[in-house]
Chains A and B, each alone.
Chain A
């Protein structure tokens, strides 16, 4: 079983839709959770960072962590064509500091 599972997609939505991206994980020691966005032929850029359980909002983006279910989500409101990218979840425990990445979900927002 992979430590982090993420549906690779592709996910295609119309402009303005609410997008939900998700990851599940198996290691209960994970405490730090991140979402990276990666445009085609570019390096990943940090989008959201959360510690432990709860929600964090930044503009149109909301990151949600449910440690009891070992499930994290990224919501994008009013999605735009410029949001078309691959979204990578990543997580780590405080012990190792090693980031474990999901496979990434490819999102396409159609005008």
Chain B
């Protein structure tokens, strides 16, 4: 148990569907992240929220839409995805962002398959 909970753990969706991934952290952290992990590629940072404000959008296509209603919850809304978007999507949190290399804690991930 890392203190970062992601749901659903597995999701299969068609290219015309709309779905959402949910993340909740119980660590009292202020920064939350979405990462994408594809086979044989490094973890790719997608979005960063610090104190509910988006501070980073790593040129992510608009078919991925993040939402951060408060410091404990983070969503990733998905629509009209492509098969190449199939991957493990990891949520993470840290006490702060920047400065002293804050330790990032990851959730278990949501396995997404786009058919």
In whole Å, how far is B16's beta carbon from the nearest beta carbon of chain A? Answer: 27
The proximity string for B residues 100-114 relative to A, scoring 1 for CB distances below 8 Å and 0 otherwise, is 111111111101000
Within 8 A of B (CB), among A63-105: 88, 90, 92, 94-104
The number of chain A residues touching the other chain, given as a range, is 20 to 34
The proximity string for B residues 2-35 relative to A, scoring 1 for CB distances below 8 Å and 0 otherwise, is 1010100000000000000000000000000000
Across-interface contacts of B99 in A (CB, < 8 A):
94, 97
CB closest chain-A residue, reference B43: A101
Decide: A97 and B97 in contact? CB cutoff 8 A: yes
Within 8 A of A (CB), among B38-58: 40-43, 45, 48, 56
The answer, yes or no, to whether A61 is at the interface (CB within 8 Å) is no
The answer, yes or no, to whether A4 is at the interface (CB within 8 Å) is yes
A-B contact count (CB 8 A): 60
The number of chain B residues touching the other chain, given as a range, is 20 to 34
Selected contact of B98 from candidates A44, A88, A94, CB within 8 Å: A94
A4 to B43, CA, bound (A): 11
A38 to B25, CA, bound (A): 19
A41 to B30, CA, bound (A): 26
Selected contact of B111 from candidates A32, A41, A44, A102, CB within 8 Å: A41
- A32-B101, A44-B43, A101-B42 are known; give 5 further A-B pairs, CB within 8 A: A32-B100, A36-B106, A43-B90, A45-B106, A46-B104
A/B interface sample: 9 pairs, CB < 8 A: A4-B42, A43-B106, A45-B2, A49-B101, A51-B101, A88-B42, A94-B98, A103-B41, A103-B42
